[in-house]
Amino acid sequence: MSSILSVRDLSVTFEVRRPGSWPWTPPRKLHAVSEVSFDLAPGECLGIVGESGSGKSTLARAIVGTVPSAGGNIMFEGADLANMDTRQRRVHRRDVQMIFQDPLAALNPRMTVGDIIAEPLVTHEPRTPRKEVKARVRALMDRVGLLPNLINRYPHEFSGGQCQRIGIARALILQPKLLICDEPVSALDVSVQAQVINLLMELQRDMGLSMIFIAHDLSVVKHISDRTLVLYLGRVMETADSDTLTTVPEHPYSQALISSVPIPDPVLERARTRPILEGELPSPLSPPSGCVFRTRCPKARRDCAEGRPVLQDIGSGHLVACPYHEAERVLAVNA
């Protein structure tokens, strides 16, 4: 099956100046995303997980086009979004939409709900009659679980879950092909999280959407996504189908993330042993040499600092970037 989105060696860097430095002092480079590659099939949901500061949101914003990429390609339906200017990219902008993390901060407090949802439609289809715009907004509000008679209210009159439904409706008003969800449920209560997740799954199925779902909660990612990609310091550590990655993670970082998810059984939770991830995430201004995870990896060896590990396919599209795992696999085969 051909991919609707194909990202190859995507990198995003930012220039950072030291506080109090001279104006002529050259800025340092912050490597937010480094040579990330993946494919997304039509109708598929890809989950992206990792600690705060791993580059998840920056990756999403680079795909949408709100931050420029420093290198690589973003092929969307055969067009390279990464190497287009703003005018060329506008043609594809309606097909790639995004849902943001903070539902209330993402909405303009001076606009009514109806105007917020209709804004993308008015921007991209300015000749649409006002009566038709209002009818489409009301129909979409009803589809995402909002009463259409609330169309003239303002964001501050809604709860967090309702504001996120407004954000979902705004993202879907143009009937996009790709929906990027940047931690859309992290600011919501657990019961509301389940409702929003189920709504997104229904919309994906009914509209044939391709989705990128970013989250910290691996149990949520497993529930909604077909495949999962693990990021650490802007680099891909492991990627596999969600069931495989959550059941038999191969990379030490993935194992630590999985072990941090509590089991809803007090007896099993107290009895299990889990790897403890020690230390803090290194600064992306000066990432470690070789494997960027080696400074916190319990299985790190001296040669982990010598070269950057590449993603190795260990079967059925399960990719792992770990020299330790590769050495262990070779020993197992030779034995």
Tokens, residue 100: 């943001």
- Alpha helices, H only, 187-299: 190-207, 218-224, 242-247, 252-259, 266-271
Contacts of 1 (CB under 8 A, 6+ apart): 41, 42
CATH number at residue 29: 3.40.50.300
pLDDT single digits (tens) 58-74: 999 999 989 999 999 99
Tokens, residue 9: 């060696």
SS3 35: strand
Can you give the residue range of the structural domain that contains 16? Answer: 5-95+176-249
In a domain, 47, yes or no: yes
Mean of pLDDT values over 105-111: 92
CA atoms within 13 A on the CB side of 127: 0
In a domain, 170, yes or no: no
Check: CB of residue 269 under 8 Å from CB of residue 260: no
Give 287 or 323, the one with higher predicted confidence. 287
Residue 335 CB coordination number (10 Å) = 5
Give 299 or 118, the one with higher predicted confidence. 118
In a domain, 196, yes or no: yes
pLDDT score, position 188: 84
Whole-angstrom Cα distance, residue 148 to residue 152?
Answer: 9
In a domain, 234, yes or no: yes
In a domain, 25, yes or no: yes
Tokens, residue 218: 């691996």
Instruction: Quote the strand ranges of the chain, DSSP E.
Output: 5-16, 28-40, 45-49, 71-76, 79-80, 96-99, 178-182, 210-214, 227-232, 235-241, 312-313, 319-320
- Alpha helices, H only, 76-159: 86-93, 113-124, 130-143
In a domain, 235, yes or no: yes
Give 315 or 154, the one with higher predicted confidence. 154
Q: Over 60: is that where the pLDDT of 157 sits?
A: yes
In a domain, 61, yes or no: yes
Mean of pLDDT values over 255-273: 71
Q: How many domains does the chain have?
A: 1
In a domain, 324, yes or no: no
Mean of pLDDT values over 299-310: 85
